[in-house]
Amino acid sequence: MEVRIKNTRLAGQTAVITGASSGIGRELTKLLISRYGCSVIGLARNEEKLKGLSEELGNLSGRFSWRVFDVSERANWRKFAAELAGSGTQVNMLFNNAGIMPPVARFETAEKDPDNCAFRVMNTDFYASLYAVWELLPLLRRSGEACIVNISSAAAFVSLPGTAMYCAAKAALRAFSECLAQELGGGVFVATVCPGFVRTDLFRNQSEECMTRLVLSFCMQPAKAALKIIRGVIKRRHMIVPGADAKIMRFLHGLFGTAALDLFAFLLRASHIKLYSEVFTELPCGADDQSDQQTAAAN
């Protein structure tokens, strides 16, 4: 891989990146190593993809190491932090990038086990970032000029139908990140990233047929998203919004409030994007009555 070191505040620093095996995390890893001379510790569950990334880095692979563990388990973070402290590794940057998204569907029909779905999404998309900050913050503070980058989503601005748990988790992460920035002040820089649609493994649960039109219409390539994120970090922007779609969503929600939610739902319904077809399909006759009866019985 070609090396083009840029002399910025990031040069030569060490970053921890979750979800490093694919998508934005993978591109952040490649960019930080090849362009800024950073060392990266990548965290993910897929060891084969991590090995593939190391091979792709070629002569720069010495700057990349990885750990295979589930970031949604706090015990794993405790062990990882103890390992870094014991080895004297200085960590300058933390990128909380890992995330999952269930198949797009109406909430009441999304999963046979909605509790399990909710826990999986919240644990990975929200709690994993909390655990990372709790365990690594002492190490970050020792580095002098530390940086935490929490990658949320434009879904934190505008909740789209069919993605209830994903939107809830990303909104929670955005709120946490903004509070953290105020609490840590100038000691640790905190950025919140809210990208629009990006072509990543986040959509691996959606069928290729359903994704085609969406990808062509909206999706940004992960490499472009990673570049915009790094540029925002260098400029010390607390809110980074990659993608025209994300900027429009943020602007309209700020201008019209909850009325913007109805607008986006209408546009999705009118666009006939197959990914959202089930979301706007009417429930079978009597489904609402049955739901009301179940609620009454529970009460």
Question: Using CA atoms, how far apart are residues 10 and 37, in angstroms rounded to an integer?
Answer: 8
Catalytic residue among 36, 131, 166, 276: 166
Confirm if 222 and 24 have CB atoms less than 8 A apart: yes
Neighbouring residues of 69: CB distance < 8 A, sequence distance ≥ 6: 43, 45, 76, 80
3-state class (DSSP) for residue 231? helix
Segment holding 89, helix H or strand E = none
Confirm if 13 and 91 have CB atoms less than 8 A apart: no
Backbone angles phi, psi at 71, to 5 degrees: -70, -15
Segment holding 177, helix H or strand E = helix 164-184
Handedness of CA 205, 208, 212, 216 (dihedral sign): positive
Neighbouring residues of 205: CB distance < 8 A, sequence distance ≥ 6: 101, 102, 103
Tokens of 148: 């935490």
Question: Using CA atoms, how far apart are residues 51 and 296, in angstroms rounded to an integer?
Answer: 54
Q: Is 166 a catalytic residue?
A: yes
Catalytic site positions: 166
